[in-house]
Structure 1
Amino acid sequence: MLFRKKNKVDPNKKWYSIGIMSEKGLEDNEYDTLTEKIFDKVDNVGVIANLIREAWDKEQIEILEKKFDYPTLASPVFIVSEIIPEDIKRETKLLEKKHKWKKFFGFISLAEYLEAEDRAIFNFNHALLYTDSMEEVIGFLNEKSKETVSFNLN
């Protein structure tokens, strides 16, 4: 299982993604154990993904490490980011603009759309937490779940 998404989305809540990054990827049972622990303890996580460090964009990893002052962490690490719907829409529009004819004929694949969504969700410029402690992730997300979303109706 590569991705796991929650079924019910509350639009009045901020949603977060968690990238579980390891050097060569996690075994399915390891990944399932970690995701179950997280989903059981928090209710504001929309996406959890198993990220492979050596296959990930090196520029994004450098951004992440600079942002958090090059921490020394054990594998796996957890990267928590806020899910920003506008970024997902922007990446989708960029994909469709880049492949105008494929869009016109309906040939943009689901995989291409998911890849665009991943670029938006796992943009490490928006990372809020980078740690190897699951307890820290759970505490952070539970604290964030207490925050309310404010809407500007003007």
Structure 2
Amino acid sequence: MRNSAQEHEYDPNFVSKSQQKKAMDRLQAIGEQLAELSANQLKKLPISEELRDALLFLSTLKSNEAKRRHKQLIGKLMRHENEEALLSALNQRQQPNLERQLSLWVERLISQGESAINDTVRQYPAADRHTLRQAVRAAVHEQENTPTDTKAKQRLLTYLREAVLLSQ
């Protein structure tokens, strides 16, 4: 009989509890960024009405503990949103030319490798070196083997978008 750790070792869809917590923390941080936007700006974002109401309600809370609990609720509601579209819309609002800069970063990461990874981690402290290195390695592998496929490159761009947003 194998224990559960051995079973999960072979399951490619397995996500550890610590990875789930990191993902929730990331969603909660994005939610906090969204909460800083005005009501008019929130109306323009591709989010559900329930999340929009929760974001607006956060500004009315006074107690730090109530704010903390409500931020967790916002993180939970964010699970049901399209994170990539939301990050893109949020970044475009904050920095209009950011998408172009991110595309250039991705190209630089693919072409220069380790030195570009070090620069990225230095400039954006929220970027995890290990995760970034894996994403770059996958994008380089994809570009060498199937130049028409851009899934790994798109994942790298999404990860950079998150790192930029969380580093601000």
Largest Rg, 1 or 2: 2
Q: Looking at both structures, which has the greater relative contact order when contacts are Cα pairs under 8 Å and sequence separation is at least 6?
A: 1
Larger fraction in helix: 2
Higher strand share: 1
TM-score normalised to structure 1 length = 0.30
